[in-house]
Amino acid sequence: MTSTASTESHPAEPVAGPVTAGPRRPEPAVTGPTVRRPAGLLRRHRDFRLLWIGETANKYGSAVTGLALPLIAVSTLNASTFQVGLLGAAGWAPWLLIGLPAGVWVDRLRSRPIMLTATAVSLVLYATVPLAALAGTLTLGHLLAVALLAGAAGVFFQTAYTAYLPQLLDPADQPEGNAKLHGSASAASIVGLGSGGLIAQLAGPVNGLLANTATFLLSLWCTARIDHRETDRTDRPRRALRQEIGEGLRLLGSDVWFRTFTLFGAASNLVLTGYQSLLVVFLIREVGIGEGTVGLLVGLASTGGIVGAAFARRVAARLGTSRAMLMLELVLPALTVLIPLTGRGLGLAWYLIGGFGASAGVVAGNVIKSTFQQRYCPPELLGRLSASSAVLNFGSIPLGALLAGFLGTQLGVRPAMWLMTIGVPLAALILWCSPMRRVRDLPTERRTLNGADLPVTPASTS
């Protein structure tokens, strides 16, 4: 299933919140001292407003396609459980194949043209599915190819997007910007999943995918209208591709914070994607509900993402960024263990509780981690660091989908759901075993390239 995760070292936001809300009073930045800013980043920053609208449209489109593709596979092509898992894996496999060189290319080039190109490629690819269905030539192989190639476009988009946001916003605005982007992404996911399921029930999932191409057009239009122009990077000295990839990997391996978040993201994504890739099959074939109800349920569970994005900065300001992340990632996503109990009627509440908790915890944690990484990582290495961490962080996603598909085929869908959801709280133990539990806040100053940190405010242990 498509997730709206970014390329930072954190779990992909789940389908029950796989993926940022209106203006509100300025609040303390989550990774630094309190800074008073004028209210309403969306009102006073035109370029961010365009980016926010375009990204929200993109996330809505991703939510619809993330539901439409497996629905097409199940209801139109009668795909098996393993084939549905394979479809989920195809969308994330490009992170393993091209993630590292993509990070180098993003650091060498300007981010916005890469984002525009990637969105245009995705638009064309998704449009081929309804056209093939209309011609009577749609096959599972076609769906797999679209998922794989659109996933490759997503690698470049997400890596460029991660490097672009810190250039667009001042450091003091980044916490609010991240919260708004994650909150609107969750809202877009809710509407996308709900409307996608309804359209699939009324007009069929293929027609729903065709109508969804308009969201990618809106994303293209908004991104193209951004006035901010990046510094030309073509005159920077270039070294061998392998050497530049190595710089990102060394930074990732030598820094305890980046290393911890990447390992946690990889383990968490393995199990989150495992149960997500089986979710449509589980709800339709095991629980016995219709396509429209699937979209409605997943959309309701996704409201946790909006709640998580809304309270992330407040919880971090009150508890400290490190302690807040531990609470958010250890407690709330653990509710996913309730999902395999889902049944018809009142039994649907188990899915809603588990999905809401996972969505709230993952999105809130991602808001904090996004701001930390943008402030802590050297700007000239942000693309490479993001891609390096994403190779492990997102590279485990196709493995999770394949593992879940295999377990679902061998043991049955519900037992496979049990195994995947139990793994969610176990993955969070990586954070508990890290230095995070010994400090109140994550580092607040930027790391230097030579490995020696700039002077920072000592991490509080109070």
User: Which CATH number describes the domain made up of 41-228+241-438?
Assistant: 1.20.1250.20
Res 155: pLDDT: 87
Taking the C-alpha atoms of residue 152 and residue 409, their distance in angstroms, rounded to an integer, is: 28
Q: How do the domains of the chain map onto residue ranges?
A: 41-228+241-438
Contact 129, 143 (CB under 8 A): yes
Does the predicted model carry a pTM greater than 0.75?
no
Res 58: pLDDT: 84
Residue recorded with tokens 């492990």: 392
Res 449: pLDDT: 56
Q: Which residues of 260-290 are buried (b: 16+ CB within 10 A; e: fewer)?
A: bbbbbbbbbbbbbbbbbbbbbbbbbebbebe
Contacting residues for 78 by C-beta, under 8 A, at least 6 apart: none
What is the mean pLDDT for each group of 10 consecutive residues in the chain (462 residues)? 39 39 34 49 82 86 82 85 82 82 81 92 92 90 94 88 81 78 72 69 74 85 87 62 71 82 90 88 88 78 83 88 90 92 91 92 86 77 72 79 89 93 93 90 71 40 41
3-class DSSP assignment, residue 453: strand
Taking the C-alpha atoms of residue 273 and residue 11, their distance in angstroms, rounded to an integer, is: 10
